[in-house]
Structures are given as C-alpha cells and as structure tokens.
Structure 1
Amino acid sequence: MPFKTILTVTGEGSSDSDLQAAASLCGQVGAHLSVLVVAMAPPPPIGEYATVSTIWLEQRDRDREELEATVSHAREIISRTKVSFDISGVYAEAGTADRDIGERALYADLVLIGPSVLDQPDLKRQVINGSLFEAMRPILLVPAGNKPNLRPKTVLLAWDSRTEAAHAAREALDLMAAATVVHVTLVDPQAVSGKNGEEPGADVAAYLARHGINVTVDQLPSAGRSVASVLQQRAVDISADMIVMGAYGHSRVRELIFGGVTKTMLDEAAIPILMAR
C-alpha cells in the first residue's frame, strides 16, 4: 500500500537529523509527516511512607516546559522543509506511553524509528509496542549510518508462511514492486501441506509476481546458526537495501525471556527493516 502519512516519534535527546531524515523520506514519496514528541513522566513516589513531594511536582512542571520547548524546536526544523506536516507533544504517564503513541499511529500508514530513538531503549520499546500492538501499524527501523528510503533496489523478504510475514509483505507491496529484485528468503523450510506447500516459497513468489514484482526464492540451511544470523548474512551477501519481515510470530513474553528473531533483528539492525504483524 502507498505510505501517505508517516509518523515519527522523538523525545528528549533525539537528534535534529532524525527529523530532517523523516522530512526527506516524506519528500521522496509525497507523504504527510506527522511528528509526535514524547516526554515520559517520572513515576510517583512509592513505599509505605511515600507522599507526593514538592520536588516531584516541580520536576513534572520542568518536564512539561521542556516538552513545549522541544515541540517548538521540532516545528522550527520541519518548517524549513517543503513537506506537509503536523506536530504535537504528549507528556506520558508511567506505563502509558505506548498507548499514547498507538493512538497517534492509528492515523499513519508507517511509523519511522530513527537512530536517536533506537539509542533510547525505553522510548524505543514504547514506540515499537505502540505501533505494532496498540495500532497494528508497520514500522521502519533506520539504524545509524543509513538513510531512510522507500525506494530500495534490492529487498530481502523473510518468509516463514506465518500471518505476520504475509502482513509485512502486503504492507510492502508498493515498494517491492518498484525494486529491482526481491529475495524471498526461507530458513530451513519444510515442505508441509498447509504451510509451505510442496515447494516452499513458490506460493508467495507467485502472489508477488502477480503484482509485477521480480522475485527470486532463496531456501537456506541454518547449519547450526540462528535464523536471525542467517537472514543478516544473506542481506549482506545480496547487498540488500532493506529487510521486510513479520514481527513477533511468538509472544512478546517468550521473546523477552528466551529471545527470538524479532528481538535479535530489533537489537542488531544494520540496514533498514520494515516490520509488521
């Protein structure tokens, strides 16, 4: 689908370059840029003798003032560009930032996560949760050293015949149609009826080809490596500009405790990754 509204989230300590890159991305595809500046409130005092202290209240007042200043600064940065935009700020209470972000993401086609947010673990987690779980919107991670681009030439589509992977493929149809080649990549695929079929990757390749996408199917053995490692190495081997993949095929709790492909890719992203679930 076309990306007509792109949301980017910033916070205290975020770089101006993230905003500039988001504006540049919107300029590439003629999209509207929506900016949400998030400040997370300190939790209230806890404990048997906890009281709402003057220091805590004063800190919240200072936080709100800083938030207003950050919103004004961000507006000044984006105003220098030629893109259509809107900007607002939210002072999120403890544990609610993901819901606040999700409410805003409902009205975006894509959520852009730049290097500054990726370097802020708490904000990164809130943006990912708000986008993928609260609003069910795709995210585009752009790690440091990369420029956001919705016109990649070589795309790696990580495929495992799950609903999440299919959703990611649908969200990325337009950009894959414009790519030179899309590598549908399967790791240790099993030819099972009702999942991969007799020829793993053939069904999704045919589906993509009907959309005018130039597809090649790569069936790769893990050879004792993790799925994430195989995908990362394959992306290097084919000089991929972007990875498209489903997110959290297993539960978030399981991935947090035991790890998983999504968690590894989120933590070790080297090139832009578009994720959906």
Structure 2
Amino acid sequence: MSYKTILVVIGISQFESDLRAAANLCASDGAHLSVLPIKIATLPPVGDFAAMSAAWLDERASDIEDLGKAVKEARNVLYGLGVSHDVVGRYAESMWLEHDLGERARYADVTVIGSSLRSDERLRAGVVEGALFHSARPVLLAADLQSATLRPRKVLLAWNASIESARAAREALDVMRNAERVNVVLVDPKPASGAASGKSGGEPGADIAAYLARHGIKVTVDRLPGAGLRVEDVLNQHALDTSADLIVMGAYGHSRIREKVFGGVTKAMIDVPVVPVLMVR
C-alpha cells in the first residue's frame, strides 16, 4: 500500500532531527505528516497532604506548559518545509498511554519512531507497544531517522512462517515491489520430513518466495545457520552484509511478558535497530 499519512511520535525536546527526517519521508511520497508530541503525566502523590497536592498540580501545570512549547516549536520547524502537516500534543496518563497512542495511530498508514524518544525510555516503550498492539498499523523504527526510507532499494524480510511475519510481508508488498532486491531470510529453518508439511514446508522459504514473485518482487532466499548466535544478531549482520536499507519483520511472536523476562528477537530489534526496521504485529 502507499503511505499517505505518516505519524511521527516525539518527546518534548531534541526532536528537530526526527521531524525533518519524517518530513523528508512525506515529501518523497506526497504524504501528510501527523506529529504527536507526548508528555507522560506526572503521577499523583501518595497521601492526602495539601502541600503535596499543590506541588503535584504545579508540576502538572509545568508539564502542560512544556508540552505546549514543544507543539509550537514543532510547528516552527515544519513551517516552510513544504509538507502538509498537523501537530497535536498529548498529555498522556501512563496507564492509558498505549491505548491513546494506538487510537491515534489508526488514522495513519505507518507510525515512525526515531531517536528523540531515547531520553525517556518509559515513554518510548509505551509508544512502541501502543503502536504495535493497538493500531493495526506498521511501525518504522530507526536509531537515526535520517537513514530511514519507505522506498528502499534493498530489503531484508525476516521470515519464520508465523502469522506475524505473514502480516509483515503483506503490509510491505508495495515497499518490496519497488525494491531492486528482497532477501527472504530464514535462520536455522527446519525442513519438513516425510508426509508432514511443517509450517516452513519441505523447502523452507520456497512458498513465501513464490508468493512474493507473483507480486512482481525480485526475491532471493537466504537460509542462514545460527551458529550459536542469537537470531537478531544473524539478521542484523546479514542486513549489513547485503547493504539492506530496511528490515521487514513480524513483531512479538511470543508474549510481551516472555520477551521482557527472557528477551527475544522483537525486543532486541526494538532496543537497538542497527538498520531501520518496519515491524507489524
């Protein structure tokens, strides 16, 4: 699908680079840029002391003032860049952050998250999970949005035949169709034996390659050994080796709780996106 509305989520400081990069993404596709500056609301104090309550109200008022300044600053940055845009701030209660973000993201084709949220990891985690779990839209993550593109020449599609990876492949069809090359990457795939079909089939990667080829996509299947390395390390290294501009992958094939406790590919790729990553849940 084409991207006609791009949502970029920012904090209240150090976001100019992300804004300009998101504006460039929109300019290349003639898309509208929707900007969402977010500040997590200060939690109420524990207890019934009037002095504490007054301090809390003062702090919230200060937060809201800072958010208003960020909205004005964002508008000033975008003024004159020649892209259609809107900027609406959100003072979000922490317990509703994911739902609020997801609701807003449903009205965009993709949510973009860059480095400006790094200064508040609690906010970044809520934004990422809200976009993935509550928007039904893809999320584009990059350590530096200046390096991100929705018109990549070379794409790495991480494939494990899961529902999540199937959704990611379907969502990124247009992106991959316009690419010079797509490497479908499977790490330690296990071919089915005998009459069993197995989710990867008798020749892992062949089915998804045929599906993509019918859409006019130039596909190469790479079956890679893990060699004792973590899957995310294999994917990242292969993305670098093949000069991939974008990794496309499904997100959270395991539960969030399991990933937070034990780690996982999704969490690792979110925490440190070596190459820009387009994720779909």
- Secondary structure of the residue aligned to 1:96 is helix
- Separation in 1 of the partners of 2:146 and 2:164? 25
State the aligned residue count: 276
Aligned to 1:247: 251
Q: Identical aligned pairs, as a percentage? A: 53
Do structure 1's residue 200 and structure 2's residue 182 form an aligned pair?
A: no
- Separation in 2 of the partners of 1:158 and 1:243? 7
Aligned letter for 1:15? F
- The structure-2 alpha-carbon separation of the partners of 1:127 and 1:14, relative to structure 1 and needing over 3 Å to count, comes to farther
Contact 1:9 1:35 in 2 (8 A): yes
- Secondary structure of the residue aligned to 2:133 is helix
- Separation in 2 of the partners of 1:184 and 1:115? 28
Contact 1:34 1:85 in 2 (8 A): yes
Q: Where do 1:1-277 residues align within 5 Å?
A: 1-46=1-46, 53-144=53-144, 146-192=146-192, 193-277=197-281
- The structure-2 alpha-carbon separation of the partners of 1:119 and 1:136, relative to structure 1 and needing over 3 Å to count, comes to farther
Tell me by how many angstroms 1:118 deviates. Answer: 3.9
Q: TM-score when scaled to structure 2?
A: 0.94
Aligned letter for 2:165? A
- The structure-2 alpha-carbon separation of the partners of 1:50 and 1:263, relative to structure 1 and needing over 3 Å to count, comes to farther
- Separation in 1 of the partners of 2:63 and 2:256? 31
The superposition leaves residues 10-47 of structure 1 with CA deviations (integer Å, 9 ceiling, x where unpaired) of: 11223211111111100011111111111111111125
- The structure-2 alpha-carbon separation of the partners of 1:224 and 1:201, relative to structure 1 and needing over 3 Å to count, comes to same
Q: TM-score when scaled to structure 1?
A: 0.96
Aligned letter for 2:130? G
Contact 1:26 1:32 in 2 (8 A): yes
The superposition leaves residues 132-154 of structure 1 with CA deviations (integer Å, 9 ceiling, x where unpaired) of: 11112111012137422111111
- Secondary structure of the residue aligned to 1:53 is helix
- Separation in 2 of the partners of 1:211 and 1:30? 24
- Separation in 2 of the partners of 1:14 and 1:103? 25
- The structure-2 alpha-carbon separation of the partners of 1:262 and 1:119, relative to structure 1 and needing over 3 Å to count, comes to farther
- Separation in 2 of the partners of 1:142 and 1:232? 13
Aligned letter for 1:31? A
- Separation in 1 of the partners of 2:45 and 2:175? 48
Tell me by how many angstroms 1:50 deviates. Answer: 5.7
Uncovered stretches (5+) of structure 2, i.e. residues with no partner: none
Uncovered stretches (5+) of structure 1, i.e. residues with no partner: none
- The structure-2 alpha-carbon separation of the partners of 1:167 and 1:40, relative to structure 1 and needing over 3 Å to count, comes to same
Tell me by how many angstroms 1:234 deviates. Answer: 0.8
- Separation in 1 of the partners of 2:35 and 2:146? 20
The superposition leaves residues 87-118 of structure 1 with CA deviations (integer Å, 9 ceiling, x where unpaired) of: 10111112222221111101011000111124
Aligned letter for 1:268? V
- Separation in 2 of the partners of 1:145 and 1:164? 24
